[in-house]
A = this chain, B = another copy of it.
Amino acid sequence: MRSGKRTGRASEADAAKDRQRGPRDERGVLADQILKAARASFASRGYGATSLRSVAHDAGVDPALVSYYFESKAGLLDAVLVLPDGFLEGITAAASAPLRKRGAALVQASLSMWDDPQSAEILRAIILTANHEQVAMDRIREVFAVHILRAVSDNLSDDERSLRAGLVASQIVGLAITRYVWKIGSIATIPSSQVVDLIGPAVQRYLVRP
């Protein structure tokens, strides 16, 4: 127990931990279960209205186990904001694709993350949590300010690079939200390859148009 606040429940909590800790494999499963519940709660109720206890309840585990794995609500938020495996690698690879293919590559990289249900769940939770929580918003800003910026040619002024990265972000964010979060009309149902064909050129123009 690292949290001083919960010492009154320490022995009960310890007993619960002993019951629920289980073998290593099971621990990973329980931590995932807790994270899934935290993502849903931060996204739908917001960070403020979520408590370790409510997350434990939603995950069907003892609150002590949530403290044990994540220490505090801030620790749980940190864990929820970890980008999906391969996300930054995907953006980085797309950002260094040959310039004439880079627009399509960025759209493609974004779609492959969103088309994977596990990654999509993580991204969706980060976006929805960012609506309430500055820390989540800062994580998103970092992705765009640092990683999308790499896609823009070095041979431009800093102002122009930042502006072009912002234009790319406006299209990629809008695509993710309308297609995967809001699911508006046919933009949500056409195959990803068609989306790349339709939206890639717009992103390309933001990267290279004079």
Residue numbers of A with Cβ under 8 A of B are: 43-46, 48-49, 128, 130-132, 137, 140-141, 144-145, 159, 162-163, 165-167, 169-175, 177-179, 181-182, 184-188, 190, 198-199, 201-202, 205-206
List the B side residues contacting A145 at CB < 8 Å.
184-185
| A41 shortest CB reach to chain B, Å | 10
| A190 shortest CB reach to chain B, Å | 7
Q: A185 contacts B165, CB within 8 Å?
A: yes
Q: A170 contacts B187, CB within 8 Å?
A: yes
Given contacts A44-B46, A45-B45, is CB(A171)–CB(B174) below 8 Å?
Answer: yes
| A131 shortest CB reach to chain B, Å | 5
List the B side residues contacting A170 at CB < 8 Å.
171, 174-175, 177-179, 187, 199
Q: B206 contacts A202, CB within 8 Å?
A: yes
A and B contact pairs by CB, cutoff 8 A, 9 listed: A45-B46, A49-B49, A137-B182, A141-B184, A167-B198, A169-B178, A169-B184, A170-B187, A171-B171
Interface centre among A43, A45, A172 (most CB of B within 10 A): A45
Q: B185 contacts A166, CB within 8 Å?
A: yes
Q: B45 contacts A171, CB within 8 Å?
A: no
Q: A182 contacts B140, CB within 8 Å?
A: yes
A44: contacting residue among B132, B175, B187, CB under 8 A: B132
A202: contacting residue among B128, B132, B202, CB under 8 A: B202
List the B side residues contacting A131 at CB < 8 Å.
43-44, 128, 131, 181
List the B side residues contacting A177 at CB < 8 Å.
170, 173-174, 177
| A144 shortest CB reach to chain B, Å | 5
Given contacts A173-B178, A174-B174, is CB(A144)–CB(B202) below 8 Å?
Answer: no
- Known A45-B48, A45-B132; 14 more pairs at CB < 8 Å: A131-B181, A141-B184, A144-B178, A145-B185, A163-B185, A163-B187, A163-B198, A166-B186, A169-B184, A170-B171, A170-B177, A177-B177, A198-B206, A202-B206
